[in-house]
Amino acid sequence: MRWLEILVLGIYAYEISGSAFVVSAMLVARMAPMVLFGTVIGALVEGMDRRRVLIGACLLMAGGALAITAASVLNVMSLPLLAAIAFLNGLGWSTDFPVRRTLVGDVVAAEYLGNAMAFDSATNSATRMLGPLIGGAVYQWVGLTGAYAIATGFYLAMTLLAVGLTPVAARATAPSAGLLRRLAEGFAYARGSGAIAGVLIITVLLNFFGFAYAAIVPVWAVESFAADPVRVGLLAAAEGAGALCGSVSLAFFARAGAFQRIFLIGATVFVGALLISAKLPIYALAMAVLFIAGVGISCFGAMQSTIVLNACEPSYRSRVMGVLAACIGAGPLGVLHIGWLAELTSASTAIAISSAEGLVLMLLVVWRLPGIRR
């Protein structure tokens, strides 16, 4: 539903406004809570029952989707209202990441952590493929109302699944330090590890210059290929399909000695493939290269949390995962950047420029921080 929402938001905003920048601003609203509150949430939920936190996040997103459905039925929907509710649903997203992945780290033995994270990434990749496919088709057939009615049902189903989870106590006892102190300790711990610091910096770069491209896929598809909503969804789903294949392979074959190499190669392949696909004139060829980009992002995504969790003492995991969530939250600024470029030039040119910038800066970081290579 996360990826269905992102695609539907983009298509609806472009139909209403005709502006690439407005489309990117809608995704900024959806992603902003990650950068604003990701670190705070990671420290705040430390020692809490993570199952209950997930239940609360699912209920919040179900309520947001229901509100959009109702506003659309009553014909009072507007872009500002849609952005405000998207922001609230983004709060659920920002809670989900540090809580869910820390929970995986709590229950999985260290030698299997890379495989477990790859399976987690595989589920994310599968939905990143299915969400746009469903979203594009549903939007074309039943519009905004139908898309968010479906989202409401799925978020409620997620709530029931979260209720059914077996409670797992955090390995660390509930912290006695105050929230601000825990935040400071989380940043200090991350800064003191070369591997973690490298992962965090590359995460910022990849989300700012690379993954932000997802915000203007609807604009790119319409401008370059005159695509209808179904074909927009297919183009957006191509990267998810590649990520699914890559994640499943990693789940079986990833080994601890190769985590950092997999991470760096995946990040490089992702932005490199984006750079190539941006100016391809043939729709099917662009889809094929985006599939390769998806394989790269699966390697990056699975190893990102694995490296961080492996390098952390259990008592610091929730805090440092919150810092990681905040780094992922650099995406909204990247979305504004790529939306501004698309408004000045075109969506395809904006993707090409942004991915080229990210590739150069990422290679510079790898050169300057040898710890991430080892």
pLDDT(10) > 70: yes
Homologous superfamily of 2-168+177-373: MFS general substrate transporter like domains (1.20.1250.20)
CA–CA separation, 29 and 87 (whole Å): 5
pLDDT(172) > 60: no
pLDDT tens profile 75-127 = 998 899 989 998 988 888 777 766 777 777 777 777 777 778 777 777 877 88
Q: What is the pTM of this model?
A: 0.72
pLDDT (average), residues 272-290: 94
pLDDT tens profile 198-247 = 888 888 899 899 988 988 899 999 999 999 888 998 998 898 889 888 88
Residues 6+ apart with CB under 8 A from 363: 268
SS (H, E, C) 182-243: HHHHHHHHHHHCHHHHHHHHHHHHHHHHHHHHHHHHHHHHHHHHCCCHHHHHHHHHHHHHHH
Angle at 50 between CA 46 and CA 56, to 5 degrees: 115
User: Sign (positive/negative) of CA torsion 84, 22, 238, 31?
Assistant: negative
Report the chain's mean pLDDT, rounded to a whole number. Answer: 82
Q: Which tokens hold the place of 116?
A: 């477990």
CA–CA separation, 238 and 205 (whole Å): 22
**Count of alpha carbons within 13 Å of 95, Cβ hemisphere only?**
22
Q: How would you label 346-356 residue by residue, b for 16+ Cβ within 10 Å and e otherwise?
A: bbbbbbbbbbb
Q: Which tokens hold the place of 309?
A: 């969790």
The domain limits of the chain are 2-168+177-373
pLDDT at 371: 63
Alpha helices in the chain (DSSP H): 2-17, 20-44, 50-73, 79-107, 113-163, 179-192, 194-205, 217-225, 229-253, 259-277, 283-311, 317-328, 331-344, 347-368
pLDDT at 269: 94
Name the band, by pLDDT with cuts 50, 70 and 90, for residue 180: low
pLDDT(11) > 50: yes
pLDDT at 292: 94
